[in-house]
Amino acid sequence: MEATRRRGKVHSNGKTAEETEPTAQWGRAWEVDWFSLSSVIALLCFAPFIVYFFVMACDQYQCSVSQPLLELYSGETTLSAIWARSPSFTWGAAKIYAVWVGFQLFLYMCVPDITHKFIPGYVGGVQDGSRTPAGLINKYEINGLQCWLITHAVWLANAHYFHWFSPTIIFDHWIPLMWCANILGYLVASFAFVKAYLFPTSADDCKFTGNVFYNYMMGIEFNPRVGKWFDFKLFFNGRPGIVAWTLINLSYMAKQQELYGHVTNSMILVNVLQGLYVLDFFWNEAWYLKTIDICHDHFGWYLGWGDCVWLPYLYTLQGLYLVYHPVQLSTPYACAVLALGLAGYYIFRSTNHQKDVFRRTEGTCAIWGRRPPAFIECSYRSADGGVHRSKLLTSGFWGVARHFNYTGDLMGSLAYCAACGAGHLLPYFYVVYMTILLVHRCVRDEHRCSSKYGAGWKRYTDAVPYRLLPGLF
């Protein structure tokens, strides 16, 4: 595997970080308490049914989440009756899904990036990831933007010229495809689990907690790979999950057109705002290598199943809802939603960009006109004993709150939901879920950063006391 291992650095004053400041050990180190364990078991058992519930509610109850519960409560229907009415697994859907995943696999593995050679400002091709807890730096082939462009070009060429398949194909097989996605999700998670015991990619980066459920869900291996380049995290998170997101929305748009003869402004808003978010992800895929998913989380069911099922099915609920409820928004309301979505996107992107530039230039950049920006210097120790230095930015949005990028993300999430009007609760699931996810992520990340940086992290939280909203949280 293409990776380099770096040891403790010596600073300009001739002393190592070890000699200047006590350092903390880092990496995932949570003890599995009873609460974590019961949450893990509950999620493993019920998460597929949560996804099923929302999709079924649209299919059978016009997206009402209360109606099936009320009917069950009053005895008007039964679980087995609901189950019997649901479309089951079909070989047709399995074929579509296999072609889809196979195509993404082909693009990921066999088409090296050329877009970075002619799109100015885009960073693609072979890039370094972050240092792992064991001290490795992995190399990644960044070609997500190219895969997204090729996939969407094929989709549009089919819709307008070739007509090999209907543009509503995803909507038309939505529930049978969900069974296929579940099969892949569980297969991938189980493979990663067994692989960690039998042939781990980097044994030093494996983390065993002693609890089999926790290991299965949160993962053991840090960056599992097959061969030199097939990286599970990069592949499963980006494609088939995120490439599919915009295609699913396009399929919903095509279904609206087919059913009602027109596309509503709410559907266009959802497609535009979520399309911007997806395109941003691929434009910044090299930056994504430095985010928590890639550089801190281990690969297990949480990422594997989550990328195959949770993301494509629950992140696209707004478009699905709009197929059943073609909401036409008033122009002022649509403009307000657009403004909220764009403001959220601006905060999300600028905050992430500030940290990225700051880290890449090692603090020699200007942030909000201040050069050099304010920061706190700290040190940490990797598992190989190496001692390294790091900087925590306190200028720009990083001086406003410790996770202002999450705040921007939540504003965008609210905008997607608000685009669906106020008729039903279902489209608002996304913002509720994102709030839980990102608040939980704050806590997880800060726990990890505190173990990693020790006293340095304390100095940082004293300087920037709030997490998401200054004065509130």
Q: Please give the residue ranges that form the binding site for ligand NDP (CB under 6 A).
A: 291-292, 348, 352, 355, 390, 392-393, 398, 403, 405-406, 409, 441, 445, 449, 452
- Indicate the residue among 68 and 306 with the shorter CB distance to ligand NDP: 306
- Closest to ligand NDP by CB, 233 vs 355, is 355
Asked if 445 and 437 count as a contact pair (C-beta separation under 8 A), the reply is: no
The residue number whose beta carbon is nearest to ligand NDP equals 291
- Rounded CA separation 319/269 (Å): 10
Quote the CA–CA distance of 159 and 55 in Å, as a whole number: 25
Token pair of 467 as six digits: 């997490």
Identify whether the C-beta of residue 177 lies closer than 8 Å to the C-beta of residue 101.
Answer: no
Q: 66: left (phi > 0), else alpha (psi -120 to 50), else beta?
A: alpha
Cα–Cα–Cα angle for 137, 297, 271, rounded to 5 degrees: 105
CB of residue 468 vs ligand NDP: minimum separation in angstroms?
Answer: 10
Torsions phi, psi for 152 (to 5 deg) = -75, -30
CB of 69 to ligand NDP, least distance (A): 27
Q: Which is nearer to ligand NDP, 220 or 392 (CB)?
A: 392
Query: What distance in Å separates the CA atoms of residue 36 and residue 48, rounded to the nearest whole number?
Result: 19
Please, what is the minimum distance in Å from the beta carbon of residue 244 to ligand NDP? 14
**Residue number with CB closer to ligand NDP (183 or 357):** 357
- Tokens 């194909």, located at residue: 169
Please give the backbone phi and psi of residue 122, each rounded to the nearest 5 degrees, phi first.
-85, 135
Smallest distance, Å, CB 280 to ligand NDP? Answer: 10
5 versus 67: smaller Cβ distance to ligand NDP: 5
Would you say 379 or 405 has its CB closer to ligand NDP?
405
Hunting for tokens 């190399």 — which residue is that? 139
Range 364-372 contact pairs with CB under 8 angstroms and sequence separation of 24 or more: 367/393, 367/395, 367/396, 368/395, 368/396, 370/395
Between 318 and 405, name the residue whose CB sits nearer to ligand NDP: 405
What does the alpha-carbon distance between residue 389 and residue 387 come to, in Å, rounded to a whole number?
Answer: 7
Nearest-angstrom CA–CA distance, 234 and 225: 10
* Cα(93)–Cα(330) distance, integer angstroms: 38
Nearest distance from residue 403's CB to ligand NDP, in Å? 6
Query: Measured from the CB atom, is 231 or 409 closer to ligand NDP?
Result: 409
Closer by beta carbon to ligand NDP, 195 or else 452: 452
Residue 400 CB neighbours (<10 A):
17
Question: Please, what is the minimum distance in Å from the beta carbon of residue 205 to ligand NDP?
Answer: 15
369: left (phi over 0), alpha (psi -120 to 50) or beta: left
Radius of gyration of the chain (CA): 23
Least Å distance between CB 164 and ligand NDP?
A: 31
Beta carbons of 277 and 408 less than 8 angstroms apart: no
- Nearest to ligand NDP of 294, 320 (CB atom): 294
Instruction: Give least dist CB 467 to ligand NDP, A.
Output: 11
For tokens 């909401």, the residue is 327
Measured CA distances, 107 to 19, 96, 103, 200 (Å): 48, 17, 6, 25
Nearest distance from residue 227's CB to ligand NDP, in Å?
26
CB of 236 to ligand NDP, least distance (A): 13
